[in-house]
Amino acid sequence: MCAAGRGYDFHMFVHPHDRVDDEARWRAFLLAQGFGHLAAAGADRQYPVVVPTQFVVDGNVILMHVLGANPVVKALAENPHAVLSVAGDWAFIPGAWKAIGDEDPRWGIPTTYYGAVQVMGACTVDAEPNAIAALLRTQVAALDPNGDYVDPIEHGAKLRRIRGLRLEIEDVRAKFKYGGNVDQEHRDAIGERLVQRDGPGDLAARGHVREV
């Protein structure tokens, strides 16, 4: 279910040719990105609360933590349903790249290739220090497995100032916009140009183009 408040619908628009239902693929994308925006509508708010945050995927739960003073904590108390929106592996595609053979490159329409996954579900807030420490252990083990740290429970007062967030994965909408609306020949041409340009995100985008 998507979070709703004042008529909001956080679902993104997805063309059928960009839709991804392969769980292994969208999970791999989430694991590779590791950073997104948590949106909570709360109740009777003019705008949803949106929080940029690091996250860890732990089975069917997304783990995050925020300061207790973060307004998202109050919004989740009003309405526990939330959306984690993650986007990445983006690359600008000049219009001329879409021309092959004798096609006029001036008629090419520029676009942006990108991946986006939205995870929707109920988000619980942990305030109990032992529960928060357990969540932080899982996060640290995933993000810095070779790190050498004192146990989180040792931080005492600092630990009591934060809250652990657990977002249940109840619904997922995944969009991989990588040329699914064009034929293989045009996708191959764009893929070759991505490799040649080799800018930020280009090689990751090239990998997605191959999976279309």
Q: pTM of the entire structure?
A: 0.91
Tens of pLDDT, residue by residue over 150-159, are 999 999 999 9
Is 2 a residue whose pLDDT tops 90?
no
* 172: its two tokens: 């997922």
Tokens of 85: 């929106």
What amino acid occupies position 139? Q
Whole-number Å distance between alpha carbons of 162 and 140: 15
Banded model confidence at residue 137, pLDDT cuts 50, 70, 90:
very high
99 and 107 Cβ atoms separated by less than 8 Å: yes
**16-206 placed in CATH 3.90.1300.10:** no
Band (1; pLDDT cuts 50, 70, 90): very low
Model confidence over 93-129: pLDDT tens digits? 999 999 999 999 999 999 999 999 999 999 999 999 9
Confidence of residue 5 (pLDDT cuts 50, 70, 90): very low
Q: What is the pLDDT of residue 175?
A: 97
pLDDT at 10: 59
d(CA 111, CA 54): 28
Phi/psi of residue 106, nearest 5 degrees: -70, -20
Q: Which of 76, 75, 54 is nearest to 65 (CA)?
A: 54
The DSSP letter of residue 19 is B
The answer to whether the beta carbons of residues 204 and 211 sit under 8 Å apart is: no
Cα–Cα nearest to 56, from 35, 26, 81: 35
So what's the pLDDT on residue 11? 74
What pLDDT sits at residue 200?
A: 94
Q: How far, in Å, CA of 92 to CA of 114, rounded? A: 9
User: Residue 179: which residues within 8 A CB-CB, separation 6 or more?
Assistant: 113, 186, 187, 190, 209, 212
Which residues are CB-neighbours of 25 under 8 A, at least 6 positions away?
A: 174, 176, 211
- Res. 3: pLDDT tops 70: no
d(C-alpha 191, C-alpha 6), whole Å: 42
Structure tokens at 66: 């925020």
SS3 184: helix
